[in-house]
Amino acid sequence: MKKVITYGTFDLLHEGHYRLLERAKALGDYLIVGVTSEAYDKTRGKLNVVDSLATRIENVRKTGFADEIIVEESLGQKVQDVKKYQVDIFTVGSDWTGVFDYMKDYCEVVYLDRTKNISSTMLRIQNRRIQRIGIVGTGRIAERFVPESKLVSGVSTQGVYNPHTESAKKFADRWEIEAYEELEDFYQSVDAVYIASPHETHYDYIKSSLGHGKHVLCEKPMVLKKAQAEELFQYARAHDLILFEGIKTAYCPGFNRLLGVACSGVIGNIRNVEVCFTKLENPANRELTDSLYGGSLTELGSYVMLPVLKLLGDSCEDIRFDVIRGENGLDLFTKISLVYPNAIATATCGLGVKSEGRLLISGTKGYLVAEAPWWKTSYFEVHYEDPLKVDKYSEPFLGYGLRYELSDFLSMINGRNSSEFKLTRSESVALAGIMEKFLSAEGRGRDKAPSEGQRRDNM
């Protein structure tokens, strides 16, 4: 008797799972299915698992393919199971190709083709809502999004659109998803859109996605003009659609804990925020060559302004930009200085100058500090007058961190608006306002202004 084993979460059991189990069973005579426990999924960073373990086991049982169902509780259990049950073949979907090659020492390993399309017919029959996400853009961030999306239950990355069809095809092949040549076909096949195209294209893609009734998660900076942000949020709200700006820091657990501690009173009243994020970029890259929309502020400004807006709000009395420019006029290093009635802030970002990335929040009783990479907060400290007294906080930050924003986006779509506070519409509008003000001060906006090194204005 040939014994086969496979593993999975099998949450919101769908066609992809069903076909996997069907083919796994066909590989032998006896199929063992390991269903992951909730605790194990948590440790491997799988978020949002909707169905309980009992329901997931029951759904696997109902497929009729499993001869035996076991629970997978920890990393390392697979090898033990293969020995224990004298398994001949270990199989799993091709999205895991290579990962389980180490099992070849114990049995045959078969990667079965992953099912590309989770069809809407199947979802309707099951009366379940799995959001099919389509990606616009095929750059670095889109590459990171796909593996992260696999760790969020209730979404399925369906396909990708890029006007450069060759790039779309390559991307789609790599991730075993569909490539769409026509934007209309793309919209027909998805429920929500993740926009990861160049900054200046965001507005048009958001508008057309919303116009097609799709929810939108858009990479930062969402748009570069305040009025555009207001218009898009208004449209989304009027049509019951979710529009979400993807600044990963805003949704990660460590950063939210940091904000909670900073505002808890332990450091007293906040009087100063100093924040910095620099990344030395290759001078040949778009970020440092796009003379209209490149530069440090459009690239990293959303990150550094996030803690300032969260902690001090969006009504500062004065905002000023100090800039170091490269030969092509683009900002290599930008310092934003803000003055509030009872506080001040400096937010610094750079692509061509390296500095210490740090978030420092000073209060009347103490200060909170998170070192680089504070934008993926996993650790921070609170210090007081007494140098011996230090409170230390840590939180996990898993993978690229995009799973957190996607999970919150999904919960908003599903009507649980409890995460809306993490990045409010007015904060996104304020961020777009800052981009606009800066680009205009640099003489890059539509309303050109003299590009002197320094400029003062109201936010």
**Helix (H) and strand (E) counts for the chain?**
16, 20
Q: How far apart are CA 37 and CA 153, in angstroms?
A: 14
Shortest distance, CB of residue 167 to ligand C2G, whole angstroms? 23
Binding map of ligand C2G across residues 9-28, x = CB under 6 A, - = no contact? xxx----xx--x--------
Shortest distance, CB of residue 456 to ligand C2G, whole angstroms? 53
Shortest distance, CB of residue 72 to ligand C2G, whole angstroms? 5
Using CB atoms, what's the residue nearest to ligand C2G?
93
Only one of the segments 93-101, 241-249, 294-302, 338-346 lies at the binding site for ligand C2G (rule: CB under 6 A); that segment is 93-101
DSSP H stretches of helix in 44-182: 53-63, 77-84, 120-126, 140-149, 165-175
Does residue 7 bind ligand C2G (CB under 6 A)? yes
Report the residue number, 111 or 379, with the smaller CB distance to ligand C2G: 111
Shortest distance, CB of residue 31 to ligand C2G, whole angstroms? 13
Report the residue number, 16 or 401, with the smaller CB distance to ligand C2G: 16
With contacts defined by CB under 6 A, how many residues of the chain interact with ligand C2G? 17
Report the residue number, 7 or 438, with the smaller CB distance to ligand C2G: 7
Shortest distance, CB of residue 92 to ligand C2G, whole angstroms? 4
**Candidate list 5, 33, 57, 92; residue touching ligand C2G; CB under 6 A:** 92
Report the residue number, 8 or 159, with the smaller CB distance to ligand C2G: 8
Does residue 295 bind ligand C2G (CB under 6 A)? no
Shortest distance, CB of residue 12 to ligand C2G, whole angstroms? 9
N- to C-terminal Cα separation, the chain: 73
379-384, strands of its sheet edge to edge: 390-394, 379-384, 366-371, 358-363, 270-278, 343-350, 331-340, 318-325, 454-457
Report the residue number, 175 or 233, with the smaller CB distance to ligand C2G: 175
Report the residue number, 163 or 399, with the smaller CB distance to ligand C2G: 399
Contact 152, 407 (CB under 8 A): yes
Peptide bond into 373 cis (omega under 30): yes
Does residue 93 bind ligand C2G (CB under 6 A)? yes
DSSP H stretches of helix in 263-319: 286-289, 296-312
Two tokens at 285? Answer: 């890259």
Does residue 115 bind ligand C2G (CB under 6 A)? yes
Across the strands, what pairs with 363?
270
Only one of the segments 2-10, 229-237, 372-380, 397-405 lies at the binding site for ligand C2G (rule: CB under 6 A); that segment is 2-10
Restricted to residues 20-79, the positions that interact with ligand C2G (CB under 6 A) are 20, 36, 72
Shortest distance, CB of residue 140 to ligand C2G, whole angstroms? 24
Across the strands, what pairs with 370?
359
With CA atoms as reference, report the closest residue to 336 among 293, 273, 424.
273
Shortest distance, CB of residue 112 to ligand C2G, whole angstroms? 6
Does residue 338 bind ligand C2G (CB under 6 A)? no
Say if strands 155-161 and 131-136 run parallel, antiparallel, or are unpaired: parallel
Shortest distance, CB of residue 91 to ligand C2G, whole angstroms? 8
Q: How far apart are CA 220 and CA 90, in angstroms?
A: 41
Does residue 383 bind ligand C2G (CB under 6 A)? no
Only one of the segments 113-121, 183-191, 239-247, 313-321 lies at the binding site for ligand C2G (rule: CB under 6 A); that segment is 113-121
Shortest distance, CB of residue 376 to ligand C2G, whole angstroms? 23
Peptide bond into 221 cis (omega under 30): yes
Restricted to residues 224-263, the positions that interact with ligand C2G (CB under 6 A) are none
Restricted to residues 163-192, the positions that interact with ligand C2G (CB under 6 A) are none
Angle in degrees, 0-180, between the axes of helices 15-26 and 53-63, rounded to the nearest 10 = 60
Two tokens at 22? Answer: 């069907």
Q: How far apart are CA 198 and CA 440, in angstroms?
A: 19
Residue whose pair of structure tokens reads 């020492």 in the numeric block: 105
Shortest distance, CB of residue 51 to ligand C2G, whole angstroms? 10
Sign of CA dihedral 68, 152, 263, 373: positive
Does residue 8 bind ligand C2G (CB under 6 A)? yes
Does residue 404 bind ligand C2G (CB under 6 A)? no
Angle in degrees, 0-180, between the axes of helices 202-211 and 226-238, rounded to the nearest 10 = 10
Q: What is the dihedral of CA 195, 196, 197, 203, to 10 degrees?
A: 40
Residues that bind ligand C2G (CB under 6 A): 7-11, 16-17, 20, 36, 72, 92-93, 95-96, 114-115, 118
